[in-house]
Amino acid sequence: MERLEQNRTYTGTVEGYSSEGLGIVKLSGAVVFVPRVLRGEVIDLKITKVMKNAAVGEAVKVRQASPERAKPECPHFGVCGGCDLQHMSYQEELWAKRRRVQDALTRLGGADVEVEEILGAKDPLHYRNKSQYPVGADGTVGFYRERSHQVVGVDRCLIQTEQSDATAGAVRDWMRRYKVPAYDERTGKGLVRHVYVRTNRKGETLCCLLVNGRQVPREPELVAYVRAAAPRTVGVVLGTNTARGNVILGDRYRTLWGEDHLMDTLCGLSFKLSVPSFYQVNRDQAEVLYRKALEFAGLTGEETVLDLYCGAGTITLCMAGQAKRVIGAEIVPAAIRDAEENAARNRIENAEFFCGDAADVAAKLEREGLRPDVITVDPPRKGLAPEVIASVAGMAPDRVVYVSCDPATLGRDVKRFAQLGYQAVRAAAVDLFPATKHVETVVLLSRLNCNSAT
């Protein structure tokens, strides 16, 4: 078998995509990952890195282009690391994401379940209702360069809202005008780290400036700049984050002007969102996702539902209308306060919330003898800890509805659930993140030998 040589050019056909959206070409028994190429294309590629059983390459010529190849609309594509898939049509993107989820469930999860569908977005542009702009040490405001923490200046992003871009630009101008120092990751010195903006259905915004300290100079002027750029701003908040590392949000917040939260509507319910509250970044597609989760839950009005990682209570309260009792758990105190207020605001009386780590809350409820009919989980990208899965299985619900933002950790957890008697019986993908490699999945896990399983 011929060994691939670095810097040598080969010709090959793209057979599919990796989990990162890279094209896969097989040469001399090795898999070569090539960015920004499409399934079915014949390409000339130069090997840039050789590993034991794989290699990395770059396309130097597309000999036979795919009809699904698209011209990226964003001038920063390929430099900014925010979007991965603007070089392909949206239909091809959906195909790739559905295939990725199916591969994860089958190959990593060992599950004999078909991804029934992928539900795409009606509008794949300007969908993000939460924007987080890193600030470079030189004051550049934008997004990280691909695979680095170098900030690329971006004035206009096709997946952020116009109000968010305008707010980020206003902070940049304020920093320049008053010589406010940016934070330097290498030294831990400086002030401004991130510009954070939430936008609601009405087009109102909440701005939070994350800084390495408890105050910034010229705070009234900061408020004035933000309000002038985004007149529908409802509040400007200062967040303190003095920790080294890449965590964005801080541990304390101070309102400089207006409100410290934003109101929004989702699935016909009203939600209060403080800065640290988890809330899906694509509102319209979140409604699609939650409708699918409700369908999989199979509620009749008589069930008790436990929702782990409940955030501001979105899934919990959506389930409340079709269940007898719902219980939400979340580790962020501010999110739990929002969830409780959201329940009261929507006059939902069959919901209760606990603040704590999912593993601790699940273990506590299991010890107390709680036997929910349905458990829903919507964990962060790292998925579920083994002890959470054990506690969930220990409560013996008829059904577990797993909402996941990472197919790989989903596949791993589906396999762990299978070892404890829960089989994946339905799966669907929902695209909440057009133009990026990310995708949401809903999986229904049914307890084996349970007559009520669907």
Residues 443, 297 share a domain: yes
Q: Is residue 15 part of a domain?
A: yes
Q: How much is the average pLDDT of 156-160? A: 96
Count of C-beta atoms within a 10 Å radius of residue 128: 21
Residues 148, 26 share a domain: no
Say what percent of the chain tops pLDDT 90.
90
Phi first, then psi: what are they for 183, rounded to 5°? -75, 140
Residues 409, 382 share a domain: yes
Q: How much is the average pLDDT of 173-201? A: 97
CA dihedral 394, 397, 398, 404 (to 10 degrees): -100
Residues 211, 145 share a domain: yes
Q: Is residue 390 part of a domain?
A: yes
**Predicted confidence (pLDDT) at residue 3 exceeds the cutoff of 90:** no
Residues 208, 174 share a domain: yes
Q: Is residue 297 part of a domain?
A: yes
Q: What pLDDT is stored for residue 357 in this prediction?
A: 87
The span from the CA of 258 to the CA of 232, in Å, is 11
Q: Which domain CATH number covers 95?
A: 3.40.50.150
The span from the CA of 82 to the CA of 436, in Å, is 7
The span from the CA of 416 to the CA of 354, in Å, is 26
Contact 168, 231 (CB under 8 A): no
List Cβ neighbours of 340 (8 Å cut-off, separation of 6 or more).
Answer: 313, 353
Q: How many helices (H) and strands (E) does the chain have?
A: 9, 22
Q: What pLDDT is stored for residue 447 in this prediction?
A: 94
CA dihedral 162, 164, 165, 167 (to 10 degrees): 120
Q: pLDDT band at 362, cuts 50/70/90?
A: confident
Residues 365, 234 share a domain: no
- 380, 329, 323: which is closest to 353 by C-alpha? 329
Instruction: Read off the tokens for 447.
Output: 């307890």
* pLDDT tens, residue by residue, 419-442: 999 999 999 999 999 999 999 999
Q: Is residue 118 part of a domain?
A: yes
Who wins on pLDDT, 245 or 73? 73
The span from the CA of 280 to the CA of 264, in Å, is 12
Residues 233, 134 share a domain: yes
Q: What pLDDT is stored for residue 449 in this prediction?
A: 65
* pLDDT tens, residue by residue, 304-330: 999 999 999 999 999 999 999 999 999
Q: pLDDT band at 453, cuts 50/70/90?
A: very low
In this prediction the pTM is 0.92
Domain end call among 260, 293, 319: 260
Q: How much is the average pLDDT of 41-65? A: 96
Q: Is residue 161 part of a domain?
A: yes
Q: What pLDDT is stored for residue 450 in this prediction?
A: 53
**Predicted confidence (pLDDT) at residue 334 exceeds the cutoff of 90:** no
Q: pLDDT band at 1, cuts 50/70/90?
A: low
Domain that holds residue 209: 130-260
Which residues sit opposite 215 in a β-bridge?
A: none
Q: Which domain CATH number covers 31?
A: 2.40.50.140
Who wins on pLDDT, 450 or 70? 70
The span from the CA of 300 to the CA of 76, in Å, is 49
**Predicted confidence (pLDDT) at residue 451 exceeds the cutoff of 50:** no
**Predicted confidence (pLDDT) at residue 98 exceeds the cutoff of 70:** yes
Token pair 């596949």 in the structure block, residue? 411
Domain end call among 24, 49, 64: 64
Residues 245, 196 share a domain: yes
Q: Which domain CATH number covers 142?
A: 2.40.50.1070
Q: What pLDDT is stored for residue 258 in this prediction?
A: 98
Q: pLDDT band at 452, cuts 50/70/90?
A: very low
Phi-psi region of 324 (alpha: psi -120 to 50; beta: other; left: phi over 0): alpha
Q: Catalytic annotation on 450?
A: no
Residues 227, 204 share a domain: yes
> Chain-wide mean pLDDT for the chain?
95
Q: How much is the average pLDDT of 329-358? A: 93
Token pair 């991804």 in the structure block, residue? 115
Say what percent of the chain tops pLDDT 70.
98
Q: Is residue 81 part of a domain?
A: no
Q: Is residue 85 part of a domain?
A: no
Which residues sit opposite 237 in a β-bridge?
A: 208, 255
Q: Is residue 156 part of a domain?
A: yes
Contact 206, 197 (CB under 8 A): yes
Residues 440, 301 share a domain: yes
Among residues 83, 207, 208, 405, the one annotated as catalytic is 405
Residues 139, 119 share a domain: no
Residues 439, 290 share a domain: yes
Considering its fold, how many domains does the chain have in total?
A: 3
